[in-house]
Amino acid sequence: MEFRSFKEIEVYPTRDLSYDFLGIHFENPFILAAAPSTDNVDMVRRAFDMGWAGAILKTTSVEGTRVDLCYPMMSTFDHEGKKLFGMGNIDLISEHHIDKVEYNVRMLKKEFPEKMVAASIMAGRKEDWQSLVQRLEEAGADLIECSFSCPQGNIGEDPGKMLAQSVSATELTARWVKEATKKIPVSIKITPHVTDIVEVAKAVKRSGCDALTASNSIQALMGIDIRTFSPYPSLGGRSTYSGMTGPAIKPITLRTIAEIARNVDIPILGTGGASTWGDSVEFMSVGAGVVQFCTVVMHYGFRVIDDLKSGMSHYLQEMKFSSPVEIIGRALPNIVTHDDLPRRTIRSHIDEELCIACDLCVVACRDGGHMAIDQRPSRIPSVDHERCVGCGLCQHVCPVDGCISMQVVP
């Protein structure tokens, strides 16, 4: 085996990851989402020192707003040994009111002028929305994100319901916020819990706001203790619905971003399920301009930024892209309606050299497919091409990469 010296191996980012988005300079596409990690100025300082391009400070409100937290607030959806595959929280907005957050914005902008410092806001009344945005713009925030999608509901007239679930309320409130700004961009953080996400995105566009943050956590019931019948997280035997975040929700977010990007011309900040540089590429390829991270940071720490940056850098190099901007929207032309999909004859092919005779494809096809995979005396399975329809189930249950492929029959 040939060994290369450490110096020869490119371990550090080799591509410039910086670009402009929404009129703001980002040193890379990776920013911290509004969450516990951005509720403490010392934590944000540390994150910036480690290389995060920006942060959305946890959602704040006007002085006097009651923020009545309950503990414990976290629970987890572990799957087959993977911890925090989905994470549930019953957190609310920040306990820090605007006076503290405007101070934090000032401090951070002074110490880190090159970083994107954004603040997230939530209110009930028009005058409160407007005062929040004005005070934060005055303090030097680069962007305002409006939380219209807290899974625990909205402050104001209709508690328990998310603002972004009403197209008319979204448009009206977004207009109030935008009217009150002088020049900083405003992004509306929406929820995928709607019948038609495109209608919500169009309402934000009509309001004059600059961007969408898509698309927050998924409302979920995290689990039930089957001996006590207490839901999770259990607070003395009781619980409420959580906002679920983390890898489990990535496909929902991808669909939401793609659906908006295919139908409405508006910049998108992606959030919901991204953990790796590859996830970021996926988010950007369906239309996100930058990507926000929360659960992965709560799980593994700010240090994941090293991996995000070096992975993205190597990816750009491999793809011969000169900037992350070249990724934005690249996958969109490939997302079509079912009617527009190609109709081809496909059959499963098993590579006998790679097969480990585990039987998983045999059982899956027998009980969930078309009974098209037979086990031979050698235990290496064989595909009956008369019965196989090419559904692809066997390929997905196979534990060996590349062992089963779907091949087009000429």
Ligand X SMILES: Cc1cc2nc3c(=O)[nH]c(=O)nc-3n(C[C@H](O)[C@H](O)[C@H](O)COP(=O)(O)O)c2cc1C
150, 361, 365, 394: the catalytic one is: 150
Closest CB 54 distance from ligand X, rounded Å: 13
Which residue, 112 or 148, is less far from ligand X as judged by CB? 148
Distance CA(65)–CA(68), nearest Å, equals: 10
Inter-residue contact 67 to 92 (CB < 8 Å)? yes
Our CA angle for 111, 117, 122, nearest 5°, is 135
Distance CA(372)–CA(379), nearest Å, equals: 15
Closest CB 209 distance from ligand X, rounded Å: 15
Residue with the two structure tokens 């010392």: 42
Alpha-helix runs per DSSP H in 220-276:
250-263
Closest CB 394 distance from ligand X, rounded Å: 31
Closest CB 217 distance from ligand X, rounded Å: 5
Inter-residue contact 112 to 141 (CB < 8 Å)? no
3-state SS class at 6: helix
Inter-residue contact 187 to 149 (CB < 8 Å)? no
Cβ contacts of 285 within 8 Å, gap of 6 or more: 327, 328, 329, 330, 331, 332
What residue type is 261 in one-letter code? A
Which residue, 173 or 395, is less far from ligand X as judged by CB? 173
Which residue, 67 or 358, is less far from ligand X as judged by CB? 67
Closest CB 322 distance from ligand X, rounded Å: 27
Going 62 to 66 to 72 to 73, the CA torsion angle's sign is negative
Distance CA(43)–CA(390), nearest Å, equals: 51
Q: Is position 150 annotated as part of the catalytic site?
A: yes
Closest CB 392 distance from ligand X, rounded Å: 27
Contact residues toward ligand X (CB under 6 A) are 33-36, 58-59, 87, 89, 91, 93-94, 120, 147, 189, 216-217, 245-246, 249, 271-274, 293-295
Distance CA(349)–CA(160), nearest Å, equals: 51
Cα separations in angstroms, 321 against 24, 135, 293: 21, 40, 23
Which residue, 35 or 373, is less far from ligand X as judged by CB? 35
Supply the residues annotated as catalytic. Answer: 150
